[in-house]
Amino acid sequence: MPTLLLLFPLKPEQIEQVRQRIPGWNIVSASDAAITEQQYRNAEIVLGWNAAMDAAFDSAANLKWVQTSSAGVDRLPLARLRERGIALSSASGIHPISMAETLFAMLLAFSRNLHHAIRQQSRGEWRVSERYYQLAGRTIGIVGVGAIGTEMARLAKAFGMTTLGVRKSARPVAEVDEMYGMERLDDVLSRSDMVVNVLPYTDETHHLFNAERFAAMKPDALFFNFGRGASADTAALVAALEQGTIGGAGLDVFEEEPLPSDHPLWKMDNVIATPHIGGWTDHYKTRVTEIFLDNLDAYLSKGQPVRNAVDFDRNY
């Protein structure tokens, strides 16, 4: 009897939707009980991933397909998956609305100094900040214009902002006023009042935002990281914030997660930090289930997932 391993726990009604498609399968859910080592090894399909799966991977002889519950796949053993011919698909596309709203929560907090007001409120202090501004008329540069970046640009246009975009293909997007290839990144940085990174993590994007890139930005510009933590050099970012090379940062991802409690980023007045929750929403499980069911149908009929199938040459 083939086994499906649900390491990303679904709701009972969602599990039932899965069960109706594979009535003869053994479905093991992390929400039911502790998963045994043998069940990890027996799995033909895995939804999600965890450290135990990583440990059992080499002996998981039946594994044919992994569907992640996240858009990023950089933390999986990609080389070993490719070597064994195991299909991999991601949950790309479920995050645009929640991540764009998280970005604008941060943008509005910075523009109205709400991050300062909240800290002052906890101390019972009545203090007017030195600077308030409006988003209308500002320029936002979005680096990595996929589904998430496009939704961010759409909201930015609604706020009356000018939108600049950067991506490999430089293919135009209706919501972006000007689109450029990666070779024009520094030009976009120099023109932007806010810079948002939503790039996936690859060898090419490792520490893409380094001391030189922060120096290319305006001294009062804000940097937002919603891509992957390692695409920004943390030491260079801290130095840029401390030295006034840039004006502030809104960070949802970090090179080291959880961010250590004694890290200087926690105490900076010009930083808003959230614990990698930018994509989370009360609709998350529903959206993951929709992608998984589409791919399950394709797997059963064609032997391969088709939606968000990962290209191992690009690692996304």
Q: Tens-digit pLDDT profile for the chain (316 aa)?
A: 899 999 999 999 999 999 999 999 999 998 766 888 899 999 999 999 998 898 888 888 899 999 999 988 988 999 999 999 999 999 998 999 999 999 999 999 999 999 999 999 999 999 998 789 999 999 999 999 999 999 999 999 999 999 999 999 999 999 999 999 999 999 999 999 999 999 999 999 999 999 999 999 999 999 999 999 999 999 999 999 999 999 999 999 999 999 999 999 999 999 999 999 999 999 999 999 999 999 999 999 999 999 999 999 888 8
> What structural domains and CATH numbers belong to the chain?
3-93+282-302 (3.40.50.720), 96-273 (3.40.50.720)
**Distance of alpha carbon 287 from alpha carbon 282, whole angstroms:** 10
Give the number of other Cβ atoms within 10 Å of residue 173's Cβ. Answer: 17
Residue 253 bridge partners (DSSP)? none
Catalytic residue among 228, 255, 263, 290: 228
Phi (first) and psi of residue 88, to 5 degrees: -135, 130
Based on the residue annotation, tell me whether 276 is a catalytic residue of this protein: yes
**Distance of alpha carbon 281 from alpha carbon 154, whole angstroms:** 19
**Distance of alpha carbon 252 from alpha carbon 125, whole angstroms:** 28
- CA–CA distances in Å: residue 279 to residues 96, 121, 210: 8, 28, 25
Q: Determine the pLDDT at residue 33.
A: 66
- Amino acid in the structure at residue 199: L
Phi (first) and psi of residue 314, to 5 degrees: -105, -20
Q: Determine the pLDDT at residue 229.
A: 96
Q: List, in order, residues 6 or more apart from 231 with CB less than 8 Å away.
A: 197, 199, 201, 205, 206, 207, 208, 209, 225
pTM: 0.87
- Amino acid in the structure at residue 208: L
Give the number of other Cβ atoms within 10 Å of residue 39's Cβ. Answer: 16
DSSP letters along the chain, please? Answer: --EEEESSPPPHHHHHHHHHH-TTSEEEETTTSPPPHHHHHHEEEEES--HHHHHHGGG-TT--EEE-SSS--TTS-HHHHHHTT-EEE--TTS-HHHHHHHHHHHHHHHHTTHHHHHHHHHHT-----S----STT-EEEEES-SHHHHHHHHHHHHTT-EEEEE-SS----TT-SEEE-GGGHHHHHHH-SEEEE-PPP-TTTTT-B-HHHHHHS-TT-EEEE-S-GGGB-HHHHHHHHHHTSSSEEEES--SSSSPPTT-GGGG-TTEEE--S-TT--TTHHHHHHHHHHHHHHHHHHHSS--TTB--TTTT-
Catalytic residue among 183, 257, 283, 314: 257
Q: Which of 143, 284, 155, 279 is nearest to 200 (CA)?
A: 143
Q: Determine the pLDDT at residue 129.
A: 82
Q: Determine the pLDDT at residue 89.
A: 98
**Distance of alpha carbon 98 from alpha carbon 116, whole angstroms:** 24
Based on the residue annotation, tell me whether 283 is a catalytic residue of this protein: no
Catalytic residue among 82, 84, 276, 290: 276
**Distance of alpha carbon 167 from alpha carbon 204, whole angstroms:** 13
